Amino acid sequence: MRFKGQTVVVTGAGNGIGREIALAFGREGAQVVLAGRSGGRLAEVASELRALGAEPLAVATDVTVERQVRDMVAAALGQFGEVDALVNNAGIAGPTKLARDVTAEEWAETLATNLSGAFYCARQVAGPMMARKRGAIVNISSVAGRIGYPLRTPYAASKWGLIGLSHSLAAELGPYGIRVNAVLPGVVAGERIDQAIAAHAAAEDEAVDNVRARFVKDIPLGRMPTEAEVAETVLFLASDAASGMTGQAVTVCGGFRMQ
Measuring CA to CA, how many Å separate 68 from each of 35, 63, 74, 179, 234? 10, 7, 10, 24, 24
List, for residues 193-228, the tens digit of each pLDDT value: 778 788 878 888 888 888 888 778 878 888 888 999
List, for residues 114-128, the tens digit of each pLDDT value: 999 999 999 999 999
Is 118 inside any structural domain? yes
Q: Residues with Cβ < 8 Å from 224, sequence gap 6 or more?
A: 186, 187, 188, 189, 193, 215, 216, 254
Is 199 inside any structural domain? yes
Give the percent of the chain with pLDDT over 70.
99
Name the E strands within 70-169. 85-88, 135-140
CATH of the domain at 117: 3.40.50.720
Is 2 inside any structural domain? no
130 with 142, same domain? yes
The closest of 146, 74, 143, 156 to 115, measured between CA atoms, is 156
Is 46 inside any structural domain? yes
Q: Which residues are catalytic?
A: 155
CB atoms inside a 10 Å sphere around CB 75: 16
Angle (CA) 210 211 214, round 5°: 85
In terms of residue numbers, what domain contains 236?
A: 7-186+225-252
Please, which pLDDT band fits residue 79 given cuts at 50, 70 and 90? very high
| pTM for this entry | 0.91
182 with 196, same domain? no
CB 13 within 8 A of CB 37: no
